[in-house]
A and B are shown apart, each in its own frame.
Chain A
Amino acid sequence: MSLLYDTWYLFVRALTKLIRTPILLFFSLLQPIIFLLLFTQLFSKIAAAFPSFGGVSYLAFATPGILLQNAFSSSLQSGTSIVDDLNLGYVQKFLVTPVNRSAILLGRLCCDAFRVVAQSLIILVLAYLLGFSFTTEVPGILAAFFLIAYFGFAWSGISLTIGLTTRSAETVFGLGGILTFPLLFMSTALVPAKGFMPNWMVTVSSYNPISYTVNAVRDLALKGFVFGDIASALLVITGIALVTQAATLYKFRKIVS
């Protein structure tokens, strides 16, 4: 019981803080929105010229990728908030109360998930205005959002672990910068692999966990429920989540005990 209540109150706190620092939300939305407005124009003819895009517009092809990109880069920032909470003494102040220990972490994770979903919704509305749509409609969108949030949760474990270990927001940010571009561009988020990328990159992208999730979300948007793709995406995400969140839990336990 106390776990539920405490998580709720700490979630509300984190969310309130987030909403009151709109500049943070603005900057993290800026990149995906620029991608959406600019790239869809820039590459519109390429999509028509290359059959590997599957004969859809670049907007239709790239929107799932941009949703994932947004989830990826926001999740890599979630460690910075816990670094602040530690370095400014908030965690210590929570720890001298009878608060459920796990709620400190769960409240944070719930806020991160909420943020990813809210940002995805904004991006999706914008994409719809530009002419994008989900063939699977509301059930597909819900499924896609679940995948996106789960994906964000899995990756946030990396930045949380780094944050809890180094207690340095700069390191967490730096890591986000280093990981984002190579992983994103060597995936099927923004372009197809076969028939577009050089061979070595096709190989890299076929191992890239981002590709799995993008493919599943893209299927939901363009084809329908392709259960094989959704299952492999879930499997890959679960694998990542197990490793990163176990590391986070380990680091977090060390601090609270």
Chain B
Amino acid sequence: MPDIIDVKDLVLVYGDGTKAVDGISFQVQENEFFGFLGPNGAGKSTTIKVLTTLLRKTSGSVAIAGNDINSDSAKIRKMIGVQSQETVVDLDLTARENMMLQGHLHQMRGDALKKRVDELLALVDLTDVADKRASSFSGGMKKRLDLATTLVHGPRLIFLDEPTTGLDPQSRAAVWQYLEKLNKEGVTVFLTTQYMEEADKLCKRLSIIDHGKIVANGTPSELKREIGTDTITLKIEESGLEGQSARAKELLQQTKGITEVLSSDDGLTAYAKDAGFIVADIVRSFDASGIKIASIGVSSPSLDDVFLHHTGRRIRPEEAGQKPAGRTRFGARRPTRQ
């Protein structure tokens, strides 16, 4: 099957000279659930704006379902749905009016549109408040309505820019459910997120972007395997003897296969490839030295570790969660034209 998104050497330079996207290439297949991960300012939203015809690329090539982004933009707009990072619902209009307007702008009319709107309002659990103005909605309800408005015309491909940022865990889980359902029905999803858990759960494949460049590509498990190190966390029993923990750290460092040891308040953390095999060695050497182990655990790398490995930063959900979910102002600056 041909790629539904095909991006080659895409560059976008804003009017003030900011190179927000610096030569990225990637492909997304039809019906794939694709994740685009990156810290603040990495270039995620900028990429989405180019792929959805809102910003004109500086150079490179972009094709959506075989249509060139510059010459076939009208065709592209018919088949995509876009939820921007800033929640955009018309607060003076009711939920239903917001949906109907979006349908009308997609040339949908009459009963077919009405039926579709009812279906979608039910999908995002807004049926009860369908005829209330959006100004009375909570942040989560607005986000859900925004998502529903992007689906009215039954797009083949949807772009979602941090659709769950600022949502409480319940609403987030609900959005995940809708997205999985849509994807099962054949919709291709392009999702940006700062939640590693979300990317891990939903995305079949992802790219990590940092400073406008793609730094890693692959399925979540491939990416985790690639960085390859497991984490061993170990606690020793308090014996009251001086220097025990220093001795323990030394022992770990001497163990074959361990690449790095860190000590913190709640014990020791060691990194190793295939840690499962090493645990036995550790237990034996600690036994021989008379140091009692209180607990020992092995965990394989999380997507969080992958992210840290590639960007040198850790995205913390609470940090991402602090970003406002309501109306934020759009940048007033525009990009340079070719």
B150 CB, nearest partner CB in chain A, Å: 9
B84 touches A93 (CB 8 A): yes
Whether B184 sits at the interface, judged by CB under 8 Å, is no
B104 touches A9 (CB 8 A): yes
A88 touches B106 (CB 8 A): no
The residue from A9, A20, A96, A254 contacting B54, defined by CB atoms under 8 A apart: A96
A12: nearest residue on chain B (CB-CB)?
Answer: B101
Q: Which A residues touch B82, using CB under 8 A?
A: 93, 96
The residue from A2, A5, A17 contacting B93, defined by CB atoms under 8 A apart: A17
The residue from B53, B84, B93 contacting A13, defined by CB atoms under 8 A apart: B93
Contact with B along A79-94 (1 / 0, CB 8 A): 0000000111110111
Whether A255 sits at the interface, judged by CB under 8 Å, is yes
Q: Which B residues touch A9, using CB under 8 A?
A: 101, 104-105
B88 touches A2 (CB 8 A): no
A89 touches B88 (CB 8 A): yes
Q: Per DSSP, are chain A's interface residues mostly helix, strand or loop, or mixed?
A: helix
Contact residues of B between 134 and 183, Cβ < 8 Å to A: 149, 153
- Residue from the set B56, B74, B86, B334 with the largest chain A CB neighbour count within 10 Å: B86
> What is the number of residues of chain B that contact chain A, defined by CB distance less than 8 Å?
30
Contact with B along A1-39 (1 / 0, CB 8 A): 010011001000100110011000000000000000000
The residue from A6, A88, A98 contacting B74, defined by CB atoms under 8 A apart: A98
A161 to B93, CA, bound (A): 27
A92 touches B93 (CB 8 A): no
A88 touches B327 (CB 8 A): yes
Whether B247 sits at the interface, judged by CB under 8 Å, is no
Q: Which B residues touch A17, using CB under 8 A?
A: 90, 92-93
A98 to B329, CA, bound (A): 24
B188 CB, nearest partner CB in chain A, Å: 16
Q: Which B residues touch A90, using CB under 8 A?
A: 88, 90
Q: Which A residues touch B329, using CB under 8 A?
A: 87-88
B interface residues (Cβ-Cβ under 8 A, vs A): 52-54, 56, 74, 77-78, 80, 82, 84, 86, 88, 90, 92-93, 97, 101-102, 104-107, 133, 149, 153, 327, 329-330, 332, 334
Given contacts A95-B53, A96-B82, 12 further A-B contacts (CB under 8 A): A5-B107, A9-B105, A13-B93, A16-B92, A17-B90, A88-B329, A90-B88, A93-B84, A97-B77, A98-B74, A98-B105, A99-B105
